[in-house]
Amino acid sequence: MEKAPTISDWKALYQAALEFKEIEAWTWMYDSDVFGVQDPVTGEIGYCCIMGALGEMFALAVYLGSEGLESYMRIASEPPLDPAEAFEELLLQKCLMVSFGSRDELTKEDRQVIKRLGLKFRGRTAWPLFRSHRPAYHPWYLTADEARFLTLALQQAREVCLRFKEDPTLFDPPREELWFVRVSEETEEGISWKDAWLEPAPLEEEELPPVPIDELRLARLKKAAHFMPAIWEMDFFLSPSAVQEKRGERPYYPYMTMTVDHGSGFIFGTDLASPGTHLERFPERFLALVERLKRLPVELWVKKEEAYDLLEPITSRLGIELYLVDELEALEDARAALGRFLGVPEWP
């Protein structure tokens, strides 16, 4: 069970946030001016991004570790043409964020903390809002550890931003792969901070779960099911609606698996799975669909490499041609129609 911040944790965090907001670093910095702050406890680097140059949203995002940095790079690069992919990129961020907005953006829990601290704010961009972003989860309240590190990141960000104002070459690296990072060290007087040029830790790639092959099941299926002169499209993606299994627990966005007929756009089936289980369930969803329909497509199209790798051991045994394609037009149309049905027209 993750611990919630104490009132002293909140006091330090709000003070650091207000001191950071006071300098209005977004008036001379852009979201591309990224620098790091190393967590003294875990050693993980938080990559700080200042938002507000366009005058739309004033915030500091601290992207956590190499996974967080990768999520920042995906968002900062050329935005995807597909709105659905843009939606997923936002939900797959890994960062801590403090933004400054209006009172109506806060929840009852946020306002209770402010009341306990005896703080008062007034104005459209005066109210600090703290949130933790984890991939495939709804933005949520900070844990004690997150509040501690975000406090340090805000304090260091204030100092670094003021230095950058005086010296815009501060982040110019001696080598391309290095990042400007503030690191701490223990001294007799306590913790002191210094500049360093560090390379991000290697990004750990997610290993695909093994695909269990039941040769007897596949033989029975191949005998019972008949090939149809059709192409199926299959994909998995994040649902637009979050699920909260227990009250007070962080909601998550389930992964939805969908299979669509390429020619007619008919949706054969959908399935929901929680983050961390969707890849394991993906091949089984295909087998269950074939068993239910007693039909096999001549071709199966996917656009994610993970989907291809998970289905290939099955399709090769069943005699189905599996293709990795750039677009799944019928499926994306069906996904858009589902979004409208669910009352989420902006998804995808």
* Domain ranges, ordered by start, for the chain: 7-198, 215-341
Q: Which two tokens stand for residue 37?
A: 């702050």
Cis peptide before 348 (omega within 30 of 0): yes
Contacts of 112 (CB under 8 A, 6+ apart): none
> What is the reported pLDDT for 190?
78
Asked if the model's pLDDT at residue 341 lies above 80, the reply is: no
What is the CATH architecture assignment of 215-341?
2-Layer Sandwich (3.30)
Looking up tokens 């875990």, which residue turns up? 42
Tell me which of 84-88, 199-203, 327-331 is least confident.
84-88
Strands (E) in the chain, as ranges, are 35-38, 45-51, 58-64, 95-101, 127-133, 179-187, 190-198, 226-238, 255-261, 267-273, 295-302, 321-324
Tell me, yes or no, if the pTM score tops 0.75. Answer: yes
Please give the share of the chain, as a percent, with pLDDT higher than 70: 96
Q: What are φ and ψ of residue 160, in 5° steps?
A: -65, -40
pLDDT digits over 15-74, tens only? Answer: 999 999 999 999 999 999 999 999 999 999 999 999 999 888 999 999 999 999 999 999
Buried b (16+ CB within 10 A) or exposed e, 257-290: bbbbbbeeeebbeebebebeebbebbbbbbbebb
Please state the rounded mean pLDDT for residues 269-294: 94
304-320 pLDDT, tens digit per residue, is 999 999 999 999 999 99
